[in-house]
Structure 1
Amino acid sequence: MTTSTGEPRRRRRPDERREEVAQTARDLALGDGLAALSLRSIASSMNVASGLVAHYEPSMEELTASTFRHVVAVELTEVRALVDDAPTGLDRLDRLVTTLLDPERDALSTIWADAWSLGRRMPLLARAARESMDSWHSYAREILLAAVAEGSVRTTEPDLVALELFALVDSTTAYALVSYRTPKERNQLVRRALEQALGLESGILARRA
């Protein structure tokens, strides 16, 4: 069969179709959140029948979980690239907070919020969320240990402070989804809490915002 231009239509290989489905799911998630993923929405975006999507991805739960894993793994890689070349551990911590609270990352905040909500009914997604949170926690702990080693912060519980950091970041980015408080207020909330947890002079992180 030929197209209207006379060029032969190439049938896509199964691996190409699977990647097309996966990429379409990622694009939809970044645009509208994980809650937007369905056989119908993916098929519509691909301009194919829902049955074709189901053939290559029979489990929407598995697809949703794998989509989340991929998106947040890319996010972590991107954040590392932005943060890791800062000259000191304290600078890296400051840059991490700045990056995570950047309003430009609101689409990713939506994906995280969806993962926690949908994960109540999707065990595979819940597991992906827990494991991804562990990866982020390990990264924050790495930054805190470097800052402790250089003497710029003081804590005997870097593991706990790393947990507190993301508890604050996650709650304030959730605030942003419903426009609760201003970006400056949310930023200051995280920074002042970190100052207290790390024995820093009051305002030293807040002034960097």
Structure 2
Amino acid sequence: MPRPRTRKAPAERAAEIVAAATAVARDQGLSALTLRAVAERAGITSGLVAHYQPSMDDLVARVYTDLVEEEVRDVERVVAAATDAPARLGSLIDTLMDGARDELTVVWVEGWAMARRSDALAAAVRTQMQRWQALVEGIVDEGCRAGVFSTTEPGEVAWQLIGMIDGLNAQSLARGADTTRFARRTARAAEALVGARPGTIPVSA
């Protein structure tokens, strides 16, 4: 017996489709976002998805942005709870390398690759990378003002730290390795980059 169709308000249906797409991406990655996959997750037809989301590129960019913004807000809360710049940087390293964010590492890695073929996704990736850079640069700036860091290039150092953490997470994901064991080495490298005394950036690993 066919399922009875439920007519929903346009805004409700559109939100339902975005939520379904976000769930697919979280579980399987951005590359799994197809009309069929989203329709199956939402329990509707592919045609209805296409009606509310005529551009899959725009939907992928929206889902990517929503997932990464959620991660950024979560990390900002963790970092804000630390007492000073070295502790904030240590908290950042701990939370990004604790292995609990592998599904988001997949989203980042696929986002970088897929952005080459999608202007909408490329713009979203650049925006979110700038947000991460601003977060890390703010911590480094704080440490410089407090006299515990001594770099004269906090912006460039922030990019380098992000690249180091992202690279280790991506490699660990591909190798099936535990990223946590790199946290202490990353903290020691971060101390050299920001110009901090050895052993002053604490990590739990």
TM-score > 0.5 by shorter chain: yes
Which of 187, 190, 197 aligns to 1:191? It is: 187
Q: Which residue of 1 aligns with 2:92?
A: 96
Q: CA deviation at 1:180?
A: 5.9
Corresponding position of 1:22: 18
Contact 2:97 2:183 in 1 (8 A): yes
Are 1:111 and 2:107 matched, yes or no? yes
Name the CA distance, whole Å, in 2 between partners of 1:161 and 1:152. 15
Deviation at 1:200, TM superposition (A): 2.5
Q: Does 2:64 match 1:55?
A: no
Shift of 1:185: 4.0
Residues 149-176 of structure 1 deviation map (CA, whole Å, 9 limit, x = unaligned): 1122111110011001111011011012
Query: Residue 119 of structure 1 contacts residue 125 of structure 1 at CA under 8 Å; is this kept in 2?
Result: yes
Q: Take 1:25 and 1:125, find their aligned partners in 2: how far apart are those partners?
A: 15
| 1:34 aligns with one of 30, 34, 38 | 30
* Helix, strand or coil at the partner of 1:18: helix
**Alignment check: 8 A CA contact 1:192 1:206 kept:** no
> Partners in 2 of 1:65 and 1:182 — Cα distance?
29
Distance apart, 1:14 and its partner CA: 0.5
1:102: Cα distance to partner?
A: 1.7
The answer to whether 1:143 aligns with 2:139 is: yes
Amino acid at match of 1:103: G
Which letter does structure 1 place at the counterpart of 2:62?
S
CA gap 1:10/1:183 in 2 versus in 1, 3 angstroms:
closer
1:2-21 equivalence runs, <5 A: 11-21=7-17
Deviation at 1:142, TM superposition (A): 0.7
1:183 deviates by 2.4
Aligned residue pairs, count: 203
**Preserved contact between residue 133 and residue 159 of structure 2 (Cα < 8 Å):** yes
Structure 1 unaligned residues grouped into runs of 5+: none
**Equivalent residue number for residue 116 of structure 2:** 120
Q: Which has the higher contact order (CA 8 A, sep 6+)?
A: 2
- The residue aligned with 2:152 is 156
8 Å CA contact 1:192–1:203 kept in 2: the answer is yes
- In structure 2, the gaps of 5 or more residues are none
CA RMSD in angstroms, aligned pairs only: 1.8
Q: Which amino acid aligns with 1:82?
A: V
CA distance in structure 2 between the aligned counterparts of 1:207 and 1:38, rounded to whole angstroms: 40
Percentage of matched positions with identical amino acids: 34
State the alpha-carbon separation in 2 of the partners of residues 47 and 147 from structure 1.
Answer: 51
Normalised by the size of structure 2, how large is the TM-score? 0.92
CA distance in 2: counterparts of 1:159 and 1:117, whole angstroms: 24
Equivalent residue, structure 1, for 2:174: 178
Structure having the higher Rg: 1
